[in-house]
Amino acid sequence: MRDEVSLKSRTRAFAISVVRLYSLLPKTVEIQTLGKQLLRSGTSVGAHYRGGCRAKSDADFVSKIEGALQELEESAYWLELLIEIKPDSNNQFLKIIREIEELTAIFVTIVKKVKGA
């Protein structure tokens, strides 16, 4: 139960950090287009996790967590593009990238455990 509360808080904090980063991005069409994609995928991670917490079966739970993993991967992609286009913002992006890596490791471990792998 404690881990569930911790991950709920952590994925919510991740979403908030993505929203805050988005609000700091330059208002150019290119950057905003990528930023909106990041905003969508980054805020979906916690929604998938929360959905998994109410799953009706192990298969449903795994599906939701794998959805969160897909959103994390997509978020990493949008961040990589933003770094390429706006390299002077690397410090803002690096914290989020680190959290993506850590959340990915946690969710992969959860999926493996539930699948019995």
Closest alpha carbon to 110 in 45, 64, 76, 71:
64
Q: Stretch 45-63: mean pLDDT, rounded?
A: 96
Confidence of residue 71 (pLDDT cuts 50, 70, 90): very high
Cα gap 55→62, rounded to integer Å:
9
Q: Structural domain tally of the chain?
A: 1
Range of the domain at 106: 2-115
Q: Per-residue pLDDT for 87 more than 90?
A: no
Q: Per-residue pLDDT for 5 more than 90?
A: no
| Average pLDDT over the chain, rounded to an integer | 93
Question: Residue 74's domain is classified under what CATH number?
Answer: 1.20.1440.60
pLDDT of residue 62: 97
Q: Per-residue pLDDT for 49 more than 80?
A: yes
- In tens, the pLDDT along 9-20 reads 999 999 999 999
Is the dihedral angle over the CA atoms 98, 104, 105, 107 positive or is it negative? Answer: positive
Q: Stretch 28-50: mean pLDDT, rounded?
A: 97
pLDDT of residue 86: 80
